[in-house]
Structure 1
Amino acid sequence: METEEIETAKKRCESVIRTIEQLPLSTAITPSCRRTLLKLASSELSFLSSLSADPSPQPLSVNIGHIESVVKLVRLPSVTGVSRVCKPVPLPIGGVHVDLVCTLGKAPVWIIVSDRNPNYISWNGDRHGGKGLRSRIQQILAAAQSTTTLKPSSVILFFANGLPSSIHEKLKNEFGAKDFNFGLDSDFDCEETTEGDWVNVVRTRSYREAVSVEIKLMDQCDSLAFPDLEVLVKTEVSEKDDFSSVISSMRLQGEDFLVNLDTTALVAFVSGIANGCAERLLEMPEIELEEKFKGNTVFVIAQARSEIENPVLVKMGSVLSGKRGIVCKSVVTEFKELVSMYGGHNEKLRAEQLLHRLMLVNDNPTERVMGLPTRRKLAMKNKIVFGTGDRWRAPTLTANMAFVRAVAQSGMSLSTIDHSPRALTGD
């Protein structure tokens, strides 16, 4: 093997490792998935480094191309809720390898990535006994249909180097595959590296020939029977503060661009801490704080400091502007009880205004979320709330990160948006 080829491959590994380390939080990739990708890329780099010192010729590993392609997809803005990468998905009928378990747009999907030379992609297997593409797809689809909690709405096949037209047609005719557009805008991935006073722009990979197809599964996600809904009475809101500005920016019509709000989101929205009381709380004497909040003083003060650094309504505004907020009936019931018991006059007024801007939907969780085992971190009430958001294909805005982590640990991809918690203060 040429030393130049090895060095080029090593640079690709180093580039991928830097990219993985810098993955933005917007990808919503779990720490476990990040570690898996780093381990794969680092192992490939170690292997190539061992070849550099070996004078005997060996075939160049092709794994780096596969890792590059997976990372390319993870970086797409439309890919969120990445809960599993490059691992078998454990299922009742046996595990099946899936490169990405994630949410794409609004739907849970499995993505299979191929970096093979299209000339070596076989439909029915090869003479050396290797399984063909047809057999592998059958296995993946059977596995997908065998599970409830991890069942995707579709399986997407991404062929990074292209696909022979004959096999492309067979995918369409036998499996009903449809062409899918990931929106890979640029022909090349580019990376900037600094050497002294020079900045080099390195073109690392072209996806000009890439082909993607989607195989839809017959799932309730494909033909949603939307639950009966009831739109709460709407009132006009004058934009005189951050709270009013955010709720005025929300849409009141349509069933696209939805965001599901859980109880933590509603409480944070109307909390006095998020609406101008943070500095006043920090200036209060400790004895008054203890009398007002009893054993929760440390908790409230921490939230007040967090609010000054990162105002929660700024996050709410970025998430909800131009979107329609929905809320399920169990959340409204719980929220009203909390506000009634712990909310002050202003918090109660804000709660009334907020509910008037949201679409009320019945509790109607999807089977896949309800199929999760019920335990402390996966409480039934939370499965109902997040599952209802899943039914509407709406990400759930929440501060309940214990539930979000527990879902991710199960291997399920669920669309969520986190926010910092805020408590009612009696304002």
Structure 2
Amino acid sequence: MRKEAEAQVELAKKRCRDVIDRIEGLPASTKITASCRRTLLKLAHSELTFLCRCCSSTSSSSSTPLNLSNFGSVNIGHLEAVVHLLQQPFITGVSRVCKPIPLSTLAPHPHGQKTDPCLKIHVHVDIVCTLHRNPVWIIVSDRNPKYISWSGSSCGSPYKRDKSKGLKLRIQQVTAAARSAVALKPSSVILFFSNRNGLSSIVCDKLKDEFGATEFQLDFPVLDFNFDLSEEAGEWTNVLVARTYQEACAFEIKVSDTRNTVLSSESDVKDSSLGEAAVTEKDPFVSTEHTEFFRAFSNLISGMEFYSLYLKNGESAQVGSLLGQSELINFDTTALIALVSGISNGGTPKLLATPESELRQRFKGNYEFVIGQVMSEIQNPILVELGRTISGKRVIICESVRSEFKELVLMCGGPNEKLRASQLLNCLTVVPNSPSERMMNLPTTRKLALKNKVVFGTGDYWCAPTVTANMAFVRAISQTGMSLFTIEHRPRALTGD
């Protein structure tokens, strides 16, 4: 028996080391913050240290029983499930992992009882991220399904993690917190069970009947792990299971969020009758005298799904379902500048052939910045990169971006850059400034400037990732814990071409 227990411990230690390797190799597409990665590594190393210490303490005495169940808490299965989710391509914008979320306002007691105002309220959420363009909270259960009960002891505070509480009470706590959250408010709460085999039909039916949960269809590939099941552990997340995820399942509980009604509303508006819902205007900035553009630029905009559309205030809801038929992508001003810049459109040889003194006179203190962009363009042409990003998608910009872009091009752009800007504006859908509530509830600071909150918040409102080179703002957002779907591009400047 002791040898068998020792083998279990060694297996658990091997799983810890493997999880550490997987955390360090999480794909860049998750946009996971450095802080989240450190949290996961700390948990994994802590678990490995715990196992090594327990194994060492019992090795000195052969008469000491060695059993994982005697060690108290073995969380490696839970960490494996969390990391497995983070490896999936549909998970992006990871801003918080395996931490409690403190709430700025009191969430209502699930049973209507008064809550102590001095109590610091928080809920534990395993992953705060963006899933299919929507902000979500994910709760991960790796517990043996036969030990998941619907009802449990409700004594004590509902906001304290109680081993005896049932699944119902925990969901009440999390959904109440989600609805009362402000900047971190999710559009839905996802419950992920890594092993549905044995999850009772009663629990499934209760989730659907009492919380309106729907099964969330996700493709969870089978990993090349296949460990033996261990004895049950008493916590919601603490049990070791086979690592195949063949029986994994997920449920989604919607959180009230008015911004999604724009894209989910049903409408019979067709392309041919678009004029009834919005006004297609000829932008006076747009020139039609010239029709020849650089080939790369023309190929890029021809790959977009577009029509010229300018939405007036109050018309968003009328055409929301029409926009929802395509995958949307939001551009900030930096992305528009990058598309029309002379650097991006074949101007690098001319710039490199220009005397340094002339370039320094033209770009002043930005000379090194511009030359850096020229060298970057030679190595990796940005129109190729952005072309892959926007191909087949409908690009939207808000009114603020449209105005700022036109002003910058008029002041700093050359004839060719103005011509490309004119063509580009005719291919974009301009939507009213409509920043999401959660974005506007963030405090306005030097790093979180109002104009940026409007631009990125409008993309968030339309569930569209924002393409940007403004990584200072993106980092400031991640530091708040908010999950925001963004796509980074390398900056380009107007050159007067």
What is the TM-score of this pair, normalised by structure 1?
Answer: 0.92
Moved more, 67-76 or 48-57: 48-57
1:119 to 132, 135, 146: 146
Judge conservation of contact 1:13–1:64 (CA < 8 Å) in 2: yes
Aligned to 2:75: 63
CA shift in 2, pair 1:239/1:285, >3 Å: closer
Q: Which runs of 5+ in 1 are unaligned?
A: 192-202
**Aligned-partner Cα distance in 2 for 1:226–1:372:** 26
Judge conservation of contact 1:232–1:355 (CA < 8 Å) in 2: no
Letter in 2 for 1:339: V
Letter in 1 for 2:364: K
Letter in 2 for 1:145: R
The answer on 1:250 being equivalent to 2:277 is: no
The answer on 1:37 being equivalent to 2:40 is: yes
Moved more, 19-28 or 104-113: 19-28
Identity %: 57
**Aligned-partner Cα distance in 2 for 1:109–1:257:** 19
1:293-372 mapped onto 2 (5 Å cutoff): 293-372=363-442
1:150 to 175, 184, 197: 184
Judge conservation of contact 2:409–2:418 (CA < 8 Å) in 1: yes
**What do residues 169-228 of structure 1 show as CA deviations (whole Å, max 9, x unaligned)?**
1111111111111211x333469xxxxxxxxxxx98111121210001121134227997
CA shift in 2, pair 1:252/1:129, >3 Å: closer
Matched residues, number: 415
- SS of the residue corresponding to residue 96 of structure 1 reads strand
Aligned to 1:199: none
1:82 to 71, 82, 94: 94
Aligned to 1:8: 11
Judge conservation of contact 1:273–1:422 (CA < 8 Å) in 2: yes
Aligned to 1:19: 22
**Aligned-partner Cα distance in 1 for 2:429–2:278:** 7
2:254 to 213, 216, 233: 216
Aligned to 2:313: none
Shift in Å at residue 384 of structure 1?
0.8
The answer on 1:393 being equivalent to 2:405 is: no
Aligned to 1:188: 223
Moved more, 394-403 or 85-94: 85-94
Letter in 1 for 2:262: L
Judge conservation of contact 1:232–1:359 (CA < 8 Å) in 2: no
Moved more, 286-295 or 78-87: 286-295
Letter in 2 for 1:16: V
Aligned to 1:108: 135
Letter in 2 for 1:278: T
Q: Which runs of 5+ in 2 are unaligned?
A: 59-63, 107-120, 155-161, 227-240, 266-276, 308-321
CA shift in 2, pair 1:365/1:237, >3 Å: farther
Aligned to 1:175: 211
**What do residues 218-255 of structure 1 show as CA deviations (whole Å, max 9, x unaligned)?**
21134227997555659897785211111110001652
- SS of the residue corresponding to residue 223 of structure 1 reads helix
Structure 1: which 4+ aligned runs deviate by more than 6 Å?
225-228, 234-239
- SS of the residue corresponding to residue 97 of structure 1 reads strand
Moved more, 328-337 or 122-131: 122-131
Shift in Å at residue 280 of structure 1?
3.1
Shift in Å at residue 269 of structure 1?
0.8
**What do residues 321-342 of structure 1 show as CA deviations (whole Å, max 9, x unaligned)?**
0111111111010000000000
Shift in Å at residue 279 of structure 1?
3.7
CA shift in 2, pair 1:230/1:328, >3 Å: farther
- SS of the residue corresponding to residue 262 of structure 2 reads coil
Aligned to 1:281: 351
What is the TM-score of this pair, normalised by structure 2?
Answer: 0.79
Letter in 1 for 2:68: P
- SS of the residue corresponding to residue 188 of structure 1 reads coil
**Aligned-partner Cα distance in 2 for 1:370–1:28:** 22
Judge conservation of contact 1:264–1:399 (CA < 8 Å) in 2: yes
Letter in 1 for 2:296: D
**Aligned-partner Cα distance in 2 for 1:230–1:252:** 15
- SS of the residue corresponding to residue 256 of structure 2 reads coil
Judge conservation of contact 1:378–1:406 (CA < 8 Å) in 2: yes
**Aligned-partner Cα distance in 2 for 1:283–1:364:** 45
Letter in 1 for 2:123: V
1:227-266 mapped onto 2 (5 Å cutoff): 230-231=279-280, 241-252=295-306, 255=323, 256-266=326-336
CA shift in 2, pair 1:337/1:129, >3 Å: closer
Judge conservation of contact 2:91–2:132 (CA < 8 Å) in 1: yes
Shift in Å at residue 310 of structure 1?
2.2
**Aligned-partner Cα distance in 2 for 1:311–1:408:** 28
- SS of the residue corresponding to residue 187 of structure 1 reads coil
